[in-house]
Amino acid sequence: MKMNTKAITLFSTLVFLAFFHLSLVSCRKIISHRGENGFTLDLIHRDSPLSPFYNPSNTPSKRLRNAFHRSFSRASFFKKSSFASANDTIQSDIEPIPGEYLMKISIGTPPVEIVAIADTGSDLTWTQCMPCANCFQQTTPIFDSKQSSTYKTVGCNAEECTSLGTSSCVRGNICEYQMSYGDQSQTIGDLAFDKFTFPSTSGNNVSIPNVVFGCGHDNSGTFNNYTSGIVGLGGGEVSIINQLDKQIKGKFSYCLIPIPLQSSISNATSHINFGDSATVSGPNVISTPLIKKEPSTFYYLNLKGISVGDKIVDFKSPNITSSAAGDDGLGNIIIDSGTTLTLLPSEFYSSLESTLVDSINATRWDDPSGTFGLCYESENGTIDAPKIVAHFTDADLELSPSTTFAEVEEGFVCLTIVPVEEVAIFGNLAQANFLIGYDLVANRVSFQPTDCTKY
């Protein structure tokens, strides 16, 4: 009897231990699965050989100049939007062409691939849709909502419709969006839900149902035929970032290849990461607060100043003030992947330029186009400049000499920081070769020096 009792006790113990072991294994699997809750996509620069915009006859300096000119068109959008009132149409003055990076995604069931401008300065994702009352020519097939079994329109009283701010009610109970652009271009269509499929670089596509987007049936103006719309990566409610909050937990990051390398290394491209894949960590990481301001679309940082060697130039501008009632005036510069140049208020820029002139021993050159204020002769595309550091709140970011002074013509380099009025933008040239992470939960932006051609 005692033997039987011992055997039963031993058996019970073994069963408990086995169950306990399986529970631990199961927990580890769940944790591991959650730890992989992220994905990475190609972020294609418009001048990359992978881009439909690519023109092999353009020289690197020509590509840079074209990108620089697009920066000024983009700045006008930020300038007008930053001073819009709460009742104004925030998106009303976007220039449709100046996007710098492209993304490929698929919409619907079965999935239809689109190529769209990836824009951290826009919220609503939209694409051209059949049937088209008026559409611009597009080289790829136009999305036909009738062919998608997962497509459904958004109702007029739905939160997604009322939060858009630029909508009306049509055909009974369908939410119609409308966006007019500064150059008389426009897109009008149905706000809708559908499944989005993201082509992860891991080879495993990520499908997410019921993503809100604009299905544009009336699109006209200066849109080009290489893209079909915009992927909104801004901070507003209807942006992809906030719509995927449950999946990506407010985290995304990107690693941008410098523009000259982008056009010469055909098999390399920039990347954008979402969720756990977007984590930026390590000993070289610095972080600065992400400042909440209106319009919520834009990502604001606080720039305290820029140092040239051991000389510090403090940020100053009589025109840049708080646009949100009751805030403390922080958030004086927008970080934006769609603007190439870094744009600073004129008074601040003048002090910075004077400090650079006093610190650089090289032959000045006058830019005949008048685009750049500070240029030098250069034999190898570089100059001997002192260390330049952007001092954000809690983060001192050393800027790369090769992107701070870029070769705009053979034998000549120019400062890629230029003066503007009323708005400041930290552009993508200054962001190149950093892994930059956005955490919209912790409200932080992190920077890690990275060779983005190998990332």
Instruction: Give the Cα separation of 26 and 24 in Å (integer).
Output: 5
Which pair of structure tokens corresponds to residue 255?
């690693």
Query: Cα separation of 315 and 321, whole Å?
Result: 12
The strand pairing partners of 397, in sequence order, are 390
Tell me the residue type at 279. T
Alpha carbon 114 to its chain's center: 18
Which position among 47, 93, 119, 190 bears the catalytic label?
A: 119
Residue with structure tokens 């403390």?
328
* Peptide bond preceding 258 in cis form (omega within 30 of 0): no
336 is an active site residue? yes
Phi, psi dihedrals of residue 430, rounded to the nearest 5°: -70, -25
How far CA 381 is from CA of 49, 260, 360, 368, in Å, comes to 22, 11, 15, 18
Q: Which of 123, 190, 336, 439 is catalytic?
A: 336
Does the annotation mark 358 as catalytic? no
Find how far residue 60's CA is from the centre of its chain.
Answer: 23
Closest CA to 345 of 369, 307, 314: 314
Beta partners for residue 179, in sequence order: 187
Cis amide prior to 110 (ω within 30 degrees) = yes
Catalytic residues: 119, 336
